[in-house]
Amino acid sequence: MAILSDHDIKKYLKKGLIIIDPLEDPERQIQPSSVDLRIGNEFKGFKIIRKPCIDPQEPGDIESYMESYHIKDGESFIIHPGEFALATTYEYIGLPDNLVARVEGRSSIGRLGITMHVTAGYIDPGFHGRITLEISNIGKMPVALYPKQRVCQIVFETMTSPAEKPYGHPERESKYMGQLKPETSKIKEDYELRRLRTKKGG
């Protein structure tokens, strides 16, 4: 696998093989081997609830554990130490079936104690949608995040060959294909948990 340079990123964008929409300031956003992405206006955070744990097998909707927030341009979302929130990139991303991508937090954000992804940094070939950001504050001070602020960067890597069944393929469980807002975990749809529920029901 090889990482695309700025030259190749521009070439893929021009050919429509990579989609970044909108890419409003390519001269500033396109870096030597990545593209800076901005945070959107939609956030989700966990409510304080009186439950011992989140159990994916428990009846009920994980969505009910979270609150949604729409932050207007110019206003801020405050993430406090120890808190976790979901957001998405402002940009809509599309990948061909022969590229994978990784999302990394920008160093300037990391130095404030903010991580931009926990385990969702890998983007499958064929994915289309806004990228979920799993945000944590591991620092000592609350930090303000502003819509359309550059918070992360996306790196593109070529594969040895195109994927036979890319993300979004009818035979794949592509639970987050086409997402536009922060999506809570759809872990209940994982085949092994569905099978476990079937056994319990039997």
Known binder of ligand: residue 31? no
pLDDT (tens, 9 = 90+) of the chain, 202 residues, equals: 799 999 999 999 999 999 999 999 999 999 999 999 999 999 998 877 777 777 777 766 677 778 899 999 999 999 999 999 999 999 999 999 999 999 999 999 999 999 998 766 789 999 999 999 999 999 999 999 999 999 999 999 999 999 898 877 776 777 677 777 777 767 667 767 667 666 666 5
Structural domain boundaries in the chain: 1-45+75-182
Q: What is the pLDDT of residue 6?
A: 97
Q: What is the CATH number of domain 1-45+75-182?
A: 2.70.40.10
Question: Closest Cα to residue 26, out of 15, 37, 39, 17?
Answer: 37
Known binder of ligand: residue 124? yes
Question: Closest Cα to residue 88, out of 184, 186, 19?
Answer: 184
Distances (CA, A) of 183 to 100, 159, 186: 21, 28, 8
Known binder of ligand: residue 111? yes
Q: What is the pLDDT of residue 136?
A: 95
Distances (CA, A) of 99 to 17, 126, 156, 176: 9, 8, 7, 18
Known binder of ligand: residue 108? yes
Catalytic residue among 83, 134, 157, 183: 134
Concerning whether 134 is annotated as a catalytic residue, the answer is yes
What digits encode the pLDDT tens for the residues 12-68? 999 999 999 999 999 999 999 999 999 999 999 887 777 777 777 776 667 777 889
The burial class, CB within 10 Å (0-12 / 13-18 / 19+), for 9 is buried
